[in-house]
Structure 1
Amino acid sequence: MSHANAALTPVQRARIGRLVVDDGWSIAEAARFFRVSWPTAAKWSQRYLERGRSGMDDRSSRPHRSPNRTPQPLVRKIVHKRIKTRRGPVEIASLTGAPASTVYAVLRRCRLNRLSHVDVRTGDVVRRYEHDHPGSMIHVDVKKLGNIPDGGGHRFVGRQQGARNRRATPGTVRDRYRHELIGRAFVHTVIDDHSRVAYAEIHDDETAATAIGVLIRAVAWFAARGVHVEAVLSDNGSCYRSHAWRDACHDLGIRHRRTRPYRPQTNGKIERFHRTMSDGWAYSKHYNSEKARRAALPAWLHFYNHHRQHSAIGKVPPITRLNNLPGHYS
């Protein structure tokens, strides 16, 4: 690509070629007129004669042959070690006999120099997907959280004070191991695959009846924002394998799909949302009670949907990806 101070841009090169080839100028005259050397004017004139205007662009300096390039069998061996064992360049160099610099060059050329391109659990190259419009697919799941005792949990007040708060909280029971239990909060979450807009409700169980109620209200919530839900993806939890869930999806006109067993990566978008929700809401600050934490969820969801920049969709809030929002058009 021509730099800013180049004497000849592709347009000027073509002018030299036209003057010499088409108009009969001598190479010396063209070189004097454009203030370049005779060999330069001759080169571009010859290129114009052979290839016309298309020959005026810069060509790659890469050689046609590279005899010393890393052999393909060695490249495949390096890539295999990287994907299956997630080793670094130095370790792979020890296993393959190639210099570490060569291993790193191969990994960089194959876009495997960063382990973020490789799945943490399986070692396979990460394959990302996204449905092309809102409502094409929603993801559903349940996030289980331990209830916060009155006065705060051990994360913020320490284990001793947290244990005292737990014993003093009404409704605390002991299991057979003498552990104090104050119950769990089941956060039923729904997230749109295309826009990442999220909907969530907190309940005290994860039964099929509760999950169906959340789905019905979530579909209505998305419909109020101009999104028609076409399909839903869930894991293999008991509430999602029930006949009641199947019938509810049929009544709503929604196709139901389930992930492969022991394969949470398929539902990775909502798993990543759970991590964001935990960091941004569930464990973000000191709550004096479970009631206080549950009361803070709607405000955080509004922030997530309307204000928080989402790196996976171009650093814009998820709500900006929804079409036909009420009030957008008059």
Structure 2
Amino acid sequence: MPWDARDTMSLRTEFVLFASQDGANIRSLCRRFGISPATGYKWLQRWAVEGEPGLQDRPRTPHHSPNRSSDDVTALLRMAHERHERWGARKIKRWLEDQGHRMPAFSTVHNLMARHGLLPGTAPGIPATGRFEHDAPNRLWQMDFKGHFPFGGGRCHPLTLLDDHSRFSLCLTHCTDERRETVQQQLVSVFERYGLPDRMTMDNGSPWGDTTGTWTALELWLMRLGIKVGHSRPYHPQTQGKLERFHRSLKA
């Protein structure tokens, strides 16, 4: 998928949306989009700092800018922290190096992370007790089906959607199946009423995830809307603990 095959800006936007997802393989994405890892990281850095305007072409500037190194490293650290909020400086540094980026000394990484509130226990929204709750509505939504049961000659598949911060039930509706088209139709109604969340978490079953590690059509649709997509760890329902408690309340 070379850059000149489609509009350059739309390709850059699509690349950074995919690359910003939890667990994204940056090198694999770069191969898929026909760009070098250095180019891919450049767009990710600009996206992290400036958003979409940072993806525009800009005039060439001298290679030796006194603030560029620190700014670029900080952008990378912010991107890594967004995916791995509980990691410390040493682990973040090693992970970025494994991704192919040249990093400064550990002390520099640690100081930059401390300065920008990226160290565990200093980042906003991460309580010291280990219980996680986002600090505002629409930061994270949790979504799942609550099983299914006979209903009116067919089956009822209750679709549930919960806001992580407020525990407000955004959606509790009857669905006749668990197909992607059905879920998307319900999500459109929820988005029109409550707006778009920053992130959505689901389990790994259909239609949310794919055991092969490829993105599903539903995930791609959400990412193109600018929503980050995450999945609970297999056999670890605590990841969606608030939704699990909500389901238990429904059952009771």
Compute the TM-score of the two structures, normalised by the length of structure 2. Answer: 0.44
Compute the TM-score of the two structures, normalised by the length of structure 1. Answer: 0.34
Larger radius of gyration: 1
